[in-house]
Amino acid sequence: MSGQQFVSLNGALVKKEEAVIPFYDHGLLYGDGLFEGIRVYNGLVFKLDEHVARLYYSAKALNINLPAPPQATRETILETVRANGHRDGYIRVTVTRGTGLGLDPKHIKGEANVYISCEQLALYPPEMYEDGLIVATVSTRLPSPDVIDPRVKCTGKYINNIMAKAEANRSGAGEGLMLTREGYVGEATGDNIFLVKGGQLLTPPATIGILQGITRDTVIMLAQAAGISVSEPIMTQYDVYNADEVFLTGTAAEVIPAVEFDGRLIGDGKPGPMTRQLMAAFREHTRTTGVPAF
């Protein structure tokens, strides 16, 4: 591999440094777009069809028409992975409503813009997966589902997550726990949260106003396959502080232990046995399942 990176711009592969985004892209002007982060492990694109399906569901909800059907977008994603030669990498698919100045979509001439890249991405240093993350509950609340449905993975909504992440970082934490408007445990800024209590796995219900993570669904499936009981109760910070173990899940972060919340150690302050078991199961599963890119 030459090291030259390519991105896909509306279906055409171009050198990354030569890629030009329209000045009046609605995504740039108004955050009017949606995205997916997808990982490729060992040459296999993990949960590719689930990510493509979520992308098209988000598009339907926002009334954005992608210029190509899901099967064609899937092929363009695979082509972008191949062009960059990454057997392990992070794919980012961004779709915006199109190009045009003015809020009203009728100012947009032409089709939605589709941008795809594939890079190497390590969200946290390896020692954090060994030692665990410090997490702070942030004051930035999750948007209420009656304002933006959390299943819509739209770019504009992420200003809230960026503010929450910065707030967590300012307090010395590596991640921020976001609560719902009612104060219930929601999700971290880019990850879902799991608690272990008395040998059972608990995670907030997707309907509470969080993204229904594909990693979350995978961990639930792996846990159930290992005979672990999984439930989705409404929880508060009290449940987090008194959990035996906590971990976060997301495509970018993968499965990562969280060992301290708001100055309280979780359990003995070390990643626990069920977290380690599920991290190992996830690693094995991602290495061996997925859509071959090469």
Ligand X SMILES: Cc1ncc(COP(=O)(O)O)c(C=O)c1O
Q: Kindly state the smallest distance separating residue 254's Cβ from ligand X, in Å.
A: 9
Q: Helix or strand or coil: residue 242?
A: coil
Q: Contact, 230 vs 223, CB < 8 A?
A: yes
The residue from 191, 201, 203, 275 that contacts ligand X (CB under 6 A) is: 191
Q: DSSP alpha helices (H): ranges in the chain?
A: 26-30, 48-62, 70-84, 126-131, 158-170, 214-225, 237-241, 273-288
Q: Look up residue 71 and give its two tokens.
A: 């099967």
The residue from 26, 86, 97, 216 that contacts ligand X (CB under 6 A) is: 216
Q: Residue 261 or 282: which CB sits closer to ligand X?
A: 282
* Residue 89 Ramachandran class (φ > 0 left, ψ -120 to 50 alpha, else beta): beta
Is 157 an annotated catalytic residue? yes
Question: For ligand X, which stretch binds (CB under 6 A), given 93-101, 110-118, 236-244, 247-255?
Answer: 247-255
Query: Is residue 137 near ligand X by the rule CB under 6 A?
Result: no
Question: For ligand X, which stretch binds (CB under 6 A), given 10-18, 111-119, 190-198, 235-243?
Answer: 190-198
Question: For ligand X, which stretch binds (CB under 6 A), given 95-103, 105-113, 199-207, 248-256?
Answer: 248-256
Query: Is residue 58 near ligand X by the rule CB under 6 A?
Result: no
- Judge residue 190's burial from the number of C-beta atoms within 10 Å of its C-beta, 0-12 exposed, 13-18 middle, 19 or more buried: buried
The residue from 250, 257, 271, 290 that contacts ligand X (CB under 6 A) is: 250
Among the listed residues 157, 165, 197, 270, the single catalytic one is 157
Cα–Cα separations (whole angstroms), residue 37 to 4, 46, 175, 190, 283: 21, 11, 18, 11, 18
In the sheet with 12-15, reading across from the earlier edge strand, the strands are 12-15, 6-9, 113-119, 89-96, 33-41, 44-45, 291-292
The residue from 22, 31, 37, 156 that contacts ligand X (CB under 6 A) is: 37
Question: For ligand X, which stretch binds (CB under 6 A), given 63-71, 104-112, 232-240, 246-254?
Answer: 246-254
Query: Is residue 94 near ligand X by the rule CB under 6 A?
Result: no
Residues 35, 64: Cα–Cα separation, whole Å: 12
Query: Is residue 192 near ligand X by the rule CB under 6 A?
Result: yes
Angle between helices 70-84 and 48-62 (to 10 degrees): 130
Residue whose CB is nearest to ligand X in the complex, by number: 213
Q: Kindly state the smallest distance separating residue 137's Cβ from ligand X, in Å.
A: 15
Q: Kindly state the smallest distance separating residue 143's Cβ from ligand X, in Å.
A: 10
Facing residues of 246 across strands?
A: 195, 258
Query: Is residue 187 near ligand X by the rule CB under 6 A?
Result: yes
Residues that bind ligand X (CB under 6 A): 37, 161, 187, 190-192, 211, 213-216, 249-251
- The residues that are catalytic are 157
